[in-house]
């Protein structure tokens, strides 16, 4: 059976001019590691388990917005295709959030100097593809609302008036 550690610090044992520091409460010197700590950059680079773990964490970070994007698309679908303030704000968010996320994807997936063989491009491309799906749904929502100019009649104000070829006048 394990012995209980004393949870008191005997401060009376120390002299005023003594340089010996007390161990913190709960510290057991027998549990401390013996020998030097090995934390070289070469050992970090050669660890394949650490590399695969970091790669999995990058892919988990890349696919994390998938649930949020699914929820946003569901909310936009539930808001309908009418021109109301809520559906316009939802559509604006569907269009602006992925653009901002794609622009800032370089900061979300930085290169690791300790592991140069770590692949950050694939998770970044997966992340951007997921964001492009949300952007595509936002454009689909704009088209459903009738706010996406796809037909020539949407651009009628920019078309020039054709020149007249005939002239008619009234006589009495």
Q: Average pLDDT for residues 131-137, to the nearest whole number? A: 93
Domain presence at residue 132: yes
pLDDT tens across 68-78, in order? 888 888 888 88
Q: Is residue 20 part of a domain?
A: no
- Domain contains 37: no
Q: Hey, CA dihedral for 12, 16, 20, 22, is it positive or negative?
A: positive
Confidence tier at 124 by pLDDT (50, 70, 90): very high
Q: Is residue 101 part of a domain?
A: yes
Q: Do residues 64 and 108 lie in contact, with contact meaning Cβ atoms separated by under 8 Å?
A: no
**In this predicted structure, what is the pLDDT of residue 28?**
79
Domain range spanning residue 71?
A: 60-107+119-147
pTM of the model: 0.62
């Amino acid at each position: 059976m394990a012995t209980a550690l004393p949870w008191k610090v005997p401060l009376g044992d120390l002299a005023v001019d003594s340089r010996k520091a007390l161990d913190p409460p709960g510290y057991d010197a027998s549990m401390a590691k013996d020998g030097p700590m090995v934390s070289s950059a070469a050992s970090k680079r050669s660890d394949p388990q650490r590399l695969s773990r970091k790669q999995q964490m990058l892919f988990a970070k890349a696919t994390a917005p998938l649930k949020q994007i699914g929820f946003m698309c569901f909310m936009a679908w539930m808001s309908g295709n009418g021109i109301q303030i809520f559906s316009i704000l939802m559509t604006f968010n569907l269009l602006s959030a992925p653009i901002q996320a794609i622009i800032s994807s370089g900061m979300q997936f930085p290169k690791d100097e300790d592991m140069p063989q770590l692949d950050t491009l694939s998770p970044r491309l997966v992340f951007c593809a997921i964001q492009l799906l949300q952007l595509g749904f936002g454009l689909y929502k704009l088209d459903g609302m009738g706010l996406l100019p796809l037909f020539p009649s949407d651009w009628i104000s920019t078309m020039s008036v054709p020149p007249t070829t005939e002239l008619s006048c009234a006589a009495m």
